[in-house]
Every structure is written in C-alpha cells, then in structure tokens.
Amino acid sequence: FRNLGLPLAKDDIVQLKEAYKWIIHPQLSEELGVPADGKSLFEVSVVFAHPETDKECHFLATACPDCFKPAKNKQSVFTRMAVIKALEKIKEEDFLKHFPCPPSSPEKLCDALEIQCNNGAVFVAGRYNKYSRNLPQTPWIIDGERKLESSVEELISEHLMAEFKADSFNFSSSGREDVDVRTLGNGRPFAIELVNPRRIHFTAEEMKRLQQAINDSSDKIQVRDLQLVTRSAIGRMKEGEEEKTKTYSALIWTDKAIQREDIAFLDDIKELKLEQKTPLRVLHRRPLAVRCRLIHTMRAEYIDEHHFRLHLKTQAGTYIKEFVHGDFGRTKPNIGSLLNRTADILELDVESVDVDWPPTLAD
C-alpha cells in the first residue's frame, strides 16, 4: 500500500478476529442450516492451539521487558494486552529483524482444543406473596449450617431452573422482609437471572402454566405477573429504592393499659422524621450508621387494653420493628417514647411495596 502511495490508517486494518468471523460464519451457516448472527445471545466459544507459532511473539520481550510481567491468574505472560503494548513500543526496523514480513505460511493446522456453546442469560420477573412467618427470603445458613429447610428464592427458582434448564441463577428483589414477616397485597417485585439456559423461548401461556406450577407447589408463597424481561428492565426495580413507599400493618403490645384516646393522636402525625442507628440485629451484616427515615402516615386500630394494630406508610428502608420497640434508644422517636410506655411488636405484615414494576398481566 505504501509503495503504491496509498495511505493506510489504523482503522483500515481488519482485526484478525473480524476476518475469522467473515470466514467461519458462512461455513457454520451452511453446515448447520441456520443463519449466523454475530450479535446473537447464543455464543460459540472455540479455543485453538498451534504449537508451531506458540513462541513467535517471544522476541518482543527484548523490546519491552516491562510489558511482560507474571500474574497469579495468568498462565502465560504473553497476553493479548501485553503483546499490543510491546508492538506499540518496538521500532519497525527492529520488528523486521526478528519477524518475516509477510510471515511464512504455517506447516501444520491448528487444533480446536475446546468448543463451548452458551446461551446469554434470560431474565424472569414477577411479584411474590409470602404467607409464612417461618420462611426466609433467601437460604438461611449460619456457619455452614442450614437453619430452615427452604426459602422464597428456592421455592420459585427450582421450577424455573428445571423448565429453562439453566446452569445457575441469581435472585434479586425490591427490598426484603424478615423471616417472620408476611408479604401481602400485590406482593414484592423480584427478578431471577437464569445463567446459560438450554431453553429460552416461552409463550405467555407457558409462563402462565409455570406460574401455576409454582403456586400449586407450596402454600407458603404465591407468584403473580410472571414474565420474561430484559436485563435493562431489571434496573427499573432497583431505581428509586430510597424514594418508594411501603405500607405495613403491625400488631403492638404495651406494658401499661391503654384506652382508645391514648393512641388516637397517632392518626394525626404526618411526615414523622426518624433517626435510626443500624439495628443491633443486623449490625453483623450492615455498617454502623445513622439513617434518617420518614413515617408518612399512621393509623391506630384499638384492640384491647394492651394491644392495638398500627397501619403505617413509610419511606423504603425504614426499620419498622425498631420504630415500635426503640431498639434500646437507637431509633428516635419510637412508639414507646411517643406513648410514654414500653411497646413491642408481636406481628408485622408488608401490605404493599409501591413499585410499579413488573407490568401487571391480565389473568
């Protein structure tokens, strides 16, 4: 090109892997009888070896010794990035001394050592209700010992894993509830990433049947709006974690007797600001911090002299149990301090998680 007086910019040079795709895609297409798509989520990975040319870039180490440094997780120092770095540093005349240009044709064919076929991940979303006060959201394992036999995550994912024939899964949700807390109303949004599924195409009717199978398998949970979603759509579940609201129903006990008028004032409190130190019960997994949270509204329902039910609408991330009993003064104010007596929580239910995702499906 240079002898012909034609300029050849870096962008004009075709990467070897691109040239390889131009050659191999039509061959694969013809052999398998299907179109080849370079942007498909189905990926065929091939590892080639060619002993004859294994050492052809070793001379670069003399040009740039600093480029090739051993690393624990690398089998060879001659990595792609290290070779590119050395090629940028070596002078053209030095390169030509060590390497014929054009290179000589290889005498032996290369070997395909390993061929792997992988499907891109598939994402399934929905909402779940939890009706048990003895079921964690995720497997409860402490010091390698399992505490409870199942979890919300497992009850849902075992059916999806079997139907999608996936290698593994990752479960995520819009917040989480304690093991002894029920989730009622429209349920809590969740998403499951299914890694390398063997089956990826499901009709809406098949998803409905899968949802029914999950619901028939346990009386502890129910799933609704089960659907396939994109990876980017899952971000919507996590957006505004702090901004969204949640409504709860708490059964509260007080040490001193109460009358209806003693709790009536709670109904008038709006936008109550709390300062919550990380609760003692979660300090082993959350950093110590003071979080400011809002109780938007409250409504008290008198039961008897020592019990009432409190309906709350709160900012996401509010620790409700601690707002009731005070957590040894770590949450201020709290129901105990507002009523000027000792209060404790006997039962807690999540009534709604106000996230408009995933889309509601028709029955």
Active site residues per annotation: 178
Stated as kind and residue range, the H or E segment containing 210 is: helix 204-217
**Strand stretches in 133-255, DSSP E:** 141-142, 145-146, 168-173, 182-195, 221-229, 245-254
Q: How many alpha carbons lie under 13 Å from residue 129 in its C-beta half-sphere?
A: 14
Q: Which two tokens stand for residue 300?
A: 């008290």
Q: Which residues contact 220 (CB under 8 A, 6 or more apart)?
A: 130, 131, 132, 135, 150, 155
Residue 263 belongs to what H/E stretch?
helix 260-263
Give me the phi and psi of 56, to 5 degrees please: -70, -15
Task: Show the beta-strand stretches assigned E in 255-289.
Answer: 270-277
Where are the extended beta strands (E) located within 316-354? 331-332, 343-353
- Single out the residue of 172, 128, 134 nearest to residue 150, CA to CA: 134
Q: What contacts 332, CB < 8 A, 6 or more positions away?
A: 274, 275, 326
Closest CA relative to residue 245, chosen from 318, 185, 345, 137 = 318
SS3 call for 85: helix
